[in-house]
Amino acid sequence: DAKTTQPPSMDCAEGRAANLPCNHSTISGNEYVYWYRQIHSQGPQYIIHGLKNNETNEMASLIITEDRKSSTLILPHATLRDTAVYYCIVRVGGNAGNMLTFGGGTRLMVKP
């Protein structure tokens, strides 16, 4: 699996967009980018995933660069409840193996 690099921490003002970057310069053509988050004392929660195209769902948007070497998770209007550790994971999709490896992630602090 490709290695990912994320900043260890970020701050964001409540109501503003939170943009969380992830570098994955060794990503392969068949590897997806997944984002999870973990709110304190809870299990991780799936947010979104994508291969090449930008993706949007009710939680967030995922922007993947054209060369796929980096991506950005966007929370359009961050709330205090979005304070969490955000994990970017790169993995071959489908049935190729069963393991997602969680790295250190980015600790996002949303401030009033």
Q: Which one, 29 or 43, has the nearer CB to another protein?
A: 43
> What is the binding site for another protein (CB under 8 A)?
32, 34, 36, 41-46, 49, 91, 93-95, 98-105
Q: How far is the CB of 16 from another protein (least distance, A)?
A: 28
**What is the DSSP track for 18-78?**
EEEEEE-TT--TTEEEEEEEE-TTS--EEEEEESSS-EE-SS-EEEE-TTSSEEEEEETT-
Q: Which one, 67 or 96, has the nearer CB to another protein?
A: 96
Q: How far is the CB of 100 from another protein (least distance, A)?
A: 6
Q: How far is the CB of 1 from another protein (least distance, A)?
A: 11
Q: Which one, 17 or 51, has the nearer CB to another protein?
A: 51
Strand pairing of 106-111 and 9-13?
parallel
Q: Which of 7, 59, 50 is nearest to 27 (CA)?
A: 50
